Amino acid sequence: MDKAPHYLETPPDWTEDERPVLPGSPPSIAHSRVKRYLYFIIGVFIALSAGLSNGFITANLPQLQGEYGLTPVEAAWLPAAYVMANVSANLILFKTRQQYGLRLFSEIALLAFIAVMLLHMFVDTYHSALFVRFFSGLVAAPLSSLGMYYIMQGFTKEHRIKGLYIGMGFSQLAVPLAWIISPLLVSVNNWQVLYRFELGLAVCCYAMVVALKLPRSIRIAVFEKQDFVTFALLAPGFACLCAVLVQGPLLWWFDSPWLAYMLIAGVVLLVIGFGYEHLRENPLIMTRWLGASSTLRFIFAAFALRLLMSEQTYAAVNFLKTMGMGPDQFVPLYTVIFFAMLFGVIFSAITFSREHMTSQLLFAVILIFIACGLDRHLTSDVRPANFYLSQSLVAFAGGLFIGPLLLTGFGRAMQQGASHIVTYIVLFAATQNFGGLIGSSFFSTYQKERVQVYQMTINNGLDSTDSLVNQRLQQYQAKFSSVISDPNKAQAQARAALAQASSREAQVRAYNDVIYLNGIFALILLIWGLTNIAWARYSQHRQLPSSSN
């Protein structure tokens, strides 16, 4: 049983229908139609602005690497720093809203966002860029929930859950939108244009929030000194795991001893942190609930769904980069992805019902499985247009599953009491962040291992006495002879071209294996989901005769 809250101010005189579900969240007040439209527009703007900052870095990482003269390992720290901060921020954000009020929280969060965007204007070194990326991850976390709250205020009470679906879904649209508009902003390699654009978005968000505030919420005393001890243990633990997952495939897992030390430090900090929470009288993280079978099933499903999205975030995008595609050529593909994800979010909200949430999740898995089947026959001639159908299915699935997944876990947490909400928010953020990181890390490792296998197989088959090999070398040599007068140099160039072609073919085969493996994972998740549904219905059917007696 949750303790009676200690109010820091007298709650407004709400009716039972208006009262917020939780302290720190806005009440369900009826607004005029015009005001609801304004809330919705502001919410969409904030949700997109919060994600665009990270989306711009993801879309322009190769250009940033060239701008600062970085190695791939150094460049990988830029998005890693963002995730390291973002995944831990939710440990204290929910209680911050509850104790200091939603209005004050939102305005301070936006001022911090503006301050970070201003810092971007003065970034001229790699280390300062890392510093800014870290704090961007911190300030972006509260904006995601703020955008969702504004969008929910744009709906009437009976449709507010649909607003939750749309709010969570729209936060995912920022990444494809960043890919679409990035070439327009950095076409002349002027990074100040990009930073000024982000700063302008932040200022507009602040102006909108001040002009139209969220309804006043409940303020209660929730912070304890032990909460900060927990944060001091878990936040660096999560950060260490993020660092290992990002750098492992680049440095290779067994070639860098510091990765092992970082992994040990992360695991030890998390074990101590969760152990400390387990012994607390009023814990921040409900460790006993985390061990419940229903919670473990939710963790597995949430993690697996985000991992399956690697079909898009890792396989398709990196394959096209390997084939030499540049940012301009990704614009049409990400336009398709953007609208497919948007339609997925809308479809998810329109078809919402508590009875069909599991069906929506399974439908998302089926779409990803179909996409893997469409993509598993890649060749070096594949271009972005060849991915339109498959990636639109994955994007639709991405927009479809996030709302039902969020609401399924939230409902289970609410059944346990309001004290479990912080645990659920941290859990949801961790599964989504680490699901994406582990998916990219695992598939990157698997892809590199398969490349080596195929490279060896192809090279062993390139026998100099083979007539087909000689014919290909002669074709290459004839091509280079027109510009290279020395026959020996032309022959060397021909051999180099053949080696390059064999390397490209090994890459193609390896990416096919990645997509095939992701399809197997999707099939396993689908079978597991159907089995759980069948077992739940069977158990319910067996209980009916006993209850009737």
pLDDT over 60 (residue 548): no
Least confident range from 40-54, 102-116, 535-549: namely 535-549
Of how many residues is the chain composed? Answer: 549
Do residues 105 and 219 lie in contact, with contact meaning Cβ atoms separated by under 8 Å?
A: no
Please, what is the angle between helix 293-308 and helix 357-375, to 10°?
A: 30
- Average of pLDDT values for 46-53? 83
Rounded to whole angstroms, the Cα distance separating 100 from 476 reads 70
User: 377 burial class (0-12, 13-18, 19+ CB within 10 angstroms)?
Assistant: exposed
Q: Tokens 């030390």 sit at which residue?
A: 261
Helix, strand, or coil (residue 450): helix
Residue 8: DSSP 8-state: S
* Per-residue pLDDT tens over the stretch 75-95: 888 888 888 888 777 777 777
Structure-token match 């290909």, residue found: 472
Q: Rounded CA gap, 548 and 538, in Å?
A: 16
Q: How far apart are CA 258 and CA 244, in angstroms?
A: 9
**Contact 150/229 with Cβ under 8 angstroms?**
no
What's the chain's average pLDDT? 80
Q: What is the pLDDT of residue 79?
A: 82
How do residues 122-139 score in pLDDT, each as one tens digit? 767 777 778 778 877 877
CA distance 287 to 271: 11
Asked if 109 and 146 count as a contact pair (C-beta separation under 8 A), the reply is: yes
For CA atoms 75, 76, 79, 83, give the dihedral sign.
negative
Residue predicted with more confidence, 118 or 272: 272
Name the residue type at position 452. Q
β-bridge mates for residue 220, sequence order: 7
What six digits make up the tokens of 10? 């007298």
User: pLDDT tens for residues 197-253?
Assistant: 888 888 888 888 888 888 877 777 777 788 888 888 888 898 898 888 888 888 888
Average of pLDDT values for 488-495? Answer: 67
User: Is 406:211 a contact under the CB 8 Å cutoff?
Assistant: no
Are 79 and 58 contacting, i.e. CB atoms less than 8 angstroms apart? Answer: yes
Angle 462-465-469 (CA atoms, 0-180°, nearest 5)?
45
Q: For residues 382 and 490, which has the higher predicted lDDT (pLDDT)?
A: 382
Q: Residue ranges per domain, the chain?
A: 1-222, 452-538
Task: Report which residue type is found at 152.
Answer: M
Give CA–CA dist 374/368, Å, rounded.
10
**Smallest Cα–Cα separation from 434: which of 287, 322, 266?**
266
Q: Give the integer Cα–Cα distance in Å for 372 and 312.
A: 10
Q: CB of 43 within 8 A of CB of 154? A: yes
More confident residue, 407 or 335: 335
* φ, ψ at 220 (rounded to 5°): -130, 155
pLDDT at position 486 is 62
Find the distance separating the first CA and the last CA of the chain, reported in whole Å: 32
Given a contact cutoff of 8 angstroms between Cβ atoms, the answer to whether 137 and 86 are in contact is: yes
Lowest average pLDDT, out of 45-49, 340-344, 402-406, goes to: 402-406
Q: With beta carbons less than 8 A apart as the criterion, state whether 183 and 331 touch.
A: yes
Burial class of residue 485 in the structure, from the number of CB atoms within 10 Å of its CB (0-12 exposed, 13-18 middle, 19+ buried): exposed
pLDDT attached to residue 285: 79
Task: Tell me which of 524 and 140 has the higher pLDDT.
Answer: 524
Q: Assign 61 to helix, strand or coil.
A: helix
CATH class of 1-222: mainly alpha
* Cβ–Cβ under 8 Å, residues 352 and 408: no
Q: What is the mean pLDDT of residues 8-17?
A: 69
Of residues 121 and 205, more confidence is placed in 205
pTM of the predicted model as reported, rounded to 2 decimal places: 0.85
User: What separation in angstroms does the CA of 257 have from each of 32, 239, 242, 266?
Assistant: 61, 18, 16, 14
Q: What is the amino acid identity at position 411?
A: G
Q: How confident is the model over 155-173, as pLDDT tens digits?
A: 887 777 777 778 878 888 8
pLDDT of residue 1: 46
| pLDDT at residue 144, as a whole number | 78
Residue 7 φ then ψ, to 5°: -75, 135
- 117 alpha carbon, distance to own chain's centre: 21
pLDDT at 13 over 60: yes
Q: What is the pLDDT of residue 129?
A: 77
- Cα–Cα distance measured from residue 61 to residue 71, given in angstroms and rounded to the nearest whole number: 11
Of these ranges, 19-33, 307-321, 533-547, the one predicted with the greatest mean pLDDT is: 307-321
Q: What confidence score (pLDDT) does residue 377 get?
A: 83
The pLDDT value given to residue 272: 92
Q: Is the pLDDT of residue 355 over 70?
A: yes
Give the pLDDT confidence score for residue 479 in this predicted structure: 63
